[in-house]
Structure 1
Amino acid sequence: MEQQRAARSTEEVVGLVAQTFLRDRAQFIDELSSLMRTQVPALDRDPRLRELMEAGTTDNLMEALQFLQNEATEDDVRAPERALVYARILAQRDVPASALIRAYRVGQAGFLDTAMRYAIEFGGPVSTPAIVHIVNRTSVYIDQVCEQVGVAYEQERDRWVGNRGGLRQQWVTRVLNGTATDADAAEQVLQYPLTRGHLAVYAWTDPHIDPATAVEVFDHLRMALAGVFDRAQGTLMVPVDEHEARLWFALPHEAAVDSAAVERLLSERGLPVRAVFSGYGTGIAGFRRTAGQADRARRLALLGGEHMARVLSYPDVAAVALLAGDIDTLREFVADQLGELAADNERNLWLRETLRVFLAGNRSYAAAATRLAVHRNTVQYRVRQALNLIGANPETHGADLYPRLALQATQLLGAAVLRPEAPHR
């Protein structure tokens, strides 16, 4: 009878631990994901990978909590589908399998550390058997899931590398990291002139689009852009994964990209894709440089989310893209430069846009009025209001650089860099 009471007490403690995890799930996932990214830097490449990792972590947490509280055997453990998708994406992106397994072990340690603290808090004298139960069941769950995601990774890796797109990806990776020492061999495999001038494009589709459709979208995108860069001396398209691709156009000279015109072209052709463009670079060093610029522009676009335009050109957003590498610091910069104008509300939105256009137009009220399609007096009123909120002197010339940069950051990133509006009492 005493043993039954102890067993029931242990079961109750485990249940309370699970309930607490569920209550604090969002905060725990955020902290655990941050820990995994810190300890496994290979997984901290961009916002999309972070989103995929958090989705898999959330599903694993829910499944693990269920496994703690039921009598399922190790043969009943199934890795969540989103965890398998994440493993396949890492395989396509050539992220080492060891990084994935390491993340699971870091996650396991973080989960157990928190679970044992909860068990001690709720268990009192029966916390030890509760902890033993949690450790044993968690180990069984993680071992089974690691084996399954490992198999999914290896199968996808074999499939991906086995096709020509995967082979091109491998060679491009070697060129970008400097391990491809034979430029002639690389050019022969890639069928692309690496020693000429380059402009890079990073494109991606919605993850809900099926892979076969995504391939067709990228092919149509390549053909559409071939018309834009009609003097290209070569084109290279390399898949990053099933929903992302890199393209390079070998150009004889620098060509400015009209983002608005490209966006209209994509809309006219009904292509469900987003794209960012690099600047111009020459030779293998320029090939690498344009890839880095396109990567930074893509990270900026992902940070902006649906608020961001479908098409970006790196030369147009270079300063903000560089600052966005540390989003917390950029948010502080915006707050310092814009003061009360950094509050996220409808009124400030119009004031910021008016001031941005006014400063970009060399402080011309007439030009700003034309651009915004409002009366000149409206522009004057809004500019005065905006400068009052910033605390800037409207007669101070030559001091526009930082405010203009902060205003561009708010235009591109919106709420990601703004201060939430204080709730009204």
Structure 2
Amino acid sequence: MAWSPVVPGVAQQVWTDILRPIARDLRRNAPALTQQAVDRMQAEMGALFPDAQAVEESRGSILSHVVQLAETMENASDPRRFVLPEPGLSLIRSRVRRRVPLSEIMRLYRMAQERVWQWMFAGITTAARNATELADALELATGWLFAYTDGAMIRAERAYEIEQEGWMRSAAAAQAAAIADILAERERDVARASTRLRYEVNRHHAALVVWVETVPDCGDPQGLLSEAFAGLARRLGAESTFTHHLSALILAGWASTRDPFGPETVEELGRVENLPPGVRVAFGEPGHGLSGFRRGHIDAEHARRVAVLVGARAEPVTRYRDVAVAALCTVDPAQARAFVTRVLGPLAAPEENTFRLAMTLAVYLEENRSRRRAADRLTVHPNTVSYRVQQAESILGRGVDTGLLDLQVALAILPSLSGLTALPVADL
């Protein structure tokens, strides 16, 4: 007898007279007990049984465990040493794919244990001939059942973690392939794309990229990025979301709704200020369907590229619409750098005072040379705008009446100049 508590003579007698017959009865009654357990689980945890397949998987798993427990007790084997039955592993694999939390699977084990114990307790109290025999039998049966259930739950937890890790890797790889096909326009079928992504594509999308430059103090950048994206999606009023980690420090996300995003909602997103420390966001223009999914992400990636070039001067949130010219003109970094230097000359100097003059000039020109509107955007006095514009013209060595297009483009690129200058020669 491998189960040490059965070795003493009294325990062996209790096992022979009471527990071994009960184990045989348990094996014979396993189907009925399993059905009772499943019925209760369905009544109390209906969400875990969305279809007949889920019910049958649970029934097969519980039955295999009950039979294994009965055989362990009948043979007086060590209930801590066994291999998880295949139906139990099958249930775990299925529940991982259905995204059922591990805690819910553990609850299934506890509920099944409770039903089996109730049945065993009734059988023991009927079979015991006196109080001493009853106490010994209950002690042995309790140890057997709890040792087996504890071992089963430990094995199930390990199997769940292994299966989940493998499934997440394969799911992430499949999603990455689907995203790549959509971005490259190899995938043109909306229904198939939705199936591959497990996300409804035939909707209105707002694409975002959320990132951090370094690992945060909490040590969990992916959790931080997911939390930040969830908050932004709520601001957008998203009805569904989809995320994909581009790297450990970069998260791509899509928020979708049935109806188009209102312009005021998108404008509000551009003014978000309460992001977690170190988190930065770029987002593209909202769009519909496959083209909106694709174009929005490409725009967001270009906005992120510009934000990275701008560096510390960039706002926490960068909207593609606001940096579209810079995004277009910095695809060739060497050309962009040479163009800005040629057009702006000394006004392209990196000093903060000179940069402020250049940015004031940029806003002034964007507002069609209106001092008042430029002052409102910059939150300064109109006279300050006039003074800065005059200073900028002085540094340029000319007025802004000639070469206006080149000047505006160069000013749009200017915030990125430090990043362009810092790029390695290979990137230029």
TM-score of the aligned structures, taking structure 1 as reference length: 0.53
Deviation, 1:244, is 1.3
How far did 1:296 drift? Answer: 1.2
Q: Equivalences for 1:263-302 in 2 at 5 Å?
A: 263-266=272-275, 270=276, 272-302=278-308
CA gap 1:164/1:205 in 2 versus in 1, 3 angstroms: farther
1:55-98, Cα deviation, whole Å (9 max, x unpaired)? xxxxxxxxxxxxxxxxxxxxxxxxxxxxxxxxxxxxxxxxxxxx
**Structure 1 equivalent of residue 245 of structure 2:** 239
CA RMSD, 1 decimal: 3.0
Give the corresponding residue for 1:226.
Answer: 233
Separation of aligned partners in 1, 2:307 and 2:216: 19
Q: Which residue of structure 1 aligns with residue 201 of structure 2? A: 194
Question: Could you tell me how far 1:246 is from its partner in structure 2?
Answer: 0.8
Q: Aligned-pair distance for 1:255?
A: 4.1
Does residue 327 (structure 1) correspond to residue 333 (structure 2)? The answer is yes
Q: CA deviation at 1:278?
A: 0.6
Retained in 2: the 8 A contact 1:236–1:249?
yes
The 2-side partners of 1:260 and 1:200 are apart by: 12
Q: How do 1:359-374 and structure 2 match up within 5 A?
A: 359-374=365-380
Instruction: Quote the Cα distance in structure 1 between the aligned partners of 2:167 and 2:213.
Output: 20
How far apart in 2 are the matches of 1:179 and 1:376?
Answer: 52
Structure 1 pair 418–393 and aligned structure 2 pair: CA distance change class (3 A)? farther
Q: Distance in 2 between matches of 1:371 and 1:162?
A: 47
**1-side partners of 2:365 and 2:180: how far apart?**
42
For residues 414 and 263 of structure 1, the distance between their equivalents in structure 2, rounded to whole angstroms, comes to 25
- Quick check: 1:344–1:418 contact (8 Å CA) kept in 2? no
- Answering whether residue 410 of structure 2 is matched by residue 406 of structure 1, we say yes
| Farther-moved stretch of structure 1 (181-190 vs 286-295) | 181-190
CA offset at residue 279 of structure 1?
A: 0.9
Cα distance in 1 for partners of 2:271, 2:322 equals 14
Aligned partner of 2:267 in structure 1 is 258
Q: 1:162 to 1:250 in 2, by over 3 A?
A: same
Change (3 A) 1:201 1:372: closer
- Aligned partners of 1:307 and 1:413 also within 8 Å: no
Indicate how the Cα distance of structure 1 residues 282 and 392 shifts in structure 2: closer, same or farther if over 3 A, else same: farther
Match of 1:174 in 2: 181
The residue that corresponds to 1:380 in the other structure is: 386
Q: Is residue 348–residue 355 contact of structure 2 (8 Å, CA) maintained in 1?
A: no
1:408 CA drift (Å): 2.5
Quote the offset at 1:237 in angstroms: 0.7
**Deviation of the 1:182 alpha carbon:** 5.0
**1:155 equivalent in structure 2:** none
The 1:262–1:381 alpha-carbon spacing in structure 2 relative to 1, beyond 3 Å, is closer
Do the aligned partners of residues 169 and 328 (structure 1) sit closer, same or farther apart at CA in structure 2, a change above 3 Å counting? same
CA spacing shift, 1:352–1:209, aligned 2, 3 Å: same
CA distance in 2, matches of 1:290, 1:309: 20
Match runs of 1:57-76 below 5 Å:
none
Larger Rg over CA atoms? 2
Equivalent-residue separation in structure 2 for 1:211 and 1:374 (angstroms): 39
Q: How far apart in 2 are the matches of 1:259 and 1:303?
A: 24
Contact 1:237 1:248 in 2 (8 A): yes
Give how far 1:342 is off.
1.6
Alpha-carbon distance between aligned partners in 2 of 1:250 and 1:335, rounded to the nearest angstrom: 42
Gap change, CA 1:295 and 1:212, over 3 Å in 2: same
Deviations for 1:6-44, whole angstroms, at most 9, x for unmatched residues? xxxxxxxxxxxxxxxxxxxxxxxxxxxxxxxxxxxxxxx
Paired residues of 2:311 and 2:419 also in contact (CA < 8 A): no
**Does structure 2 conserve the Cα–Cα contact (< 8 Å) formed by 1:197 and 1:250?**
yes
In structure 2, the CA distance between the partners of 1:356 and 1:418, relative to structure 1 (3 Å rule), is farther
2:308 partner SS: helix
Percent identity, aligned pairs only, is 30
Q: SS at 1:416's partner residue?
A: helix
2-side partners of 1:166 and 1:293: how far apart?
23
Corresponding position of 1:336: 342
CA gap 1:408/1:286 in 2 versus in 1, 3 angstroms:
same
Q: Structure 2: which amino acid aligns with 1:220?
A: E
Aligned in 2, Cα 1:179/1:367: closer, same or farther, shift over 3 Å? closer
- Using the alignment, how far apart are the partners of 1:260 and 1:282 within structure 2? 19
Contact 1:160–1:166 under 8 Å retained in 2 = no
* CA gap 1:353/1:160 in 2 versus in 1, 3 angstroms: farther
Task: Tell me which residue corresponds to 2:418.
Answer: 415
Aligned length: 255
Distance apart, 1:216 and its partner CA? 1.7
Cα offset for 1:319? Answer: 1.0
The alpha carbon displacement at 1:341 in A equals 1.2
Q: Is the 8 A contact 2:232 2:269 kept in 1?
A: no
Q: CA deviation at 1:390?
A: 2.1
Structure 1 residue 354 displacement after superposition: 2.3
> Which residue identity lines up with residue 235 of structure 1 in the other structure?
T
Distance 1:333 1:167, change over 3 A: same
Unmatched runs of 5 consecutive residues or more in structure 2: 1-164, 423-428
Aligned 1:23-38 pairs, distance under 5 A: none
Provide the secondary structure at the position in 1 that maps to 2:325. helix
1:361 and 1:367 in contact (8 A); partners too: yes
TM-score between the two structures when normalised by the length of structure 2: 0.53
Counterpart residue type for residue 213 of structure 2 = D
- Paired amino acid for 2:407: P
Specify every segment of 5 or more residues in structure 1 that has no aligned partner in the other structure, as ranges: 1-157, 420-425
* Equivalent-residue separation in structure 1 for 2:408 and 2:308 (angstroms): 22
CA–CA distance in structure 1, aligned partners of residues 219 and 170 of structure 2: 14
Matched residue of 1:207: which SS?
coil
Shift of 1:280: 2.2
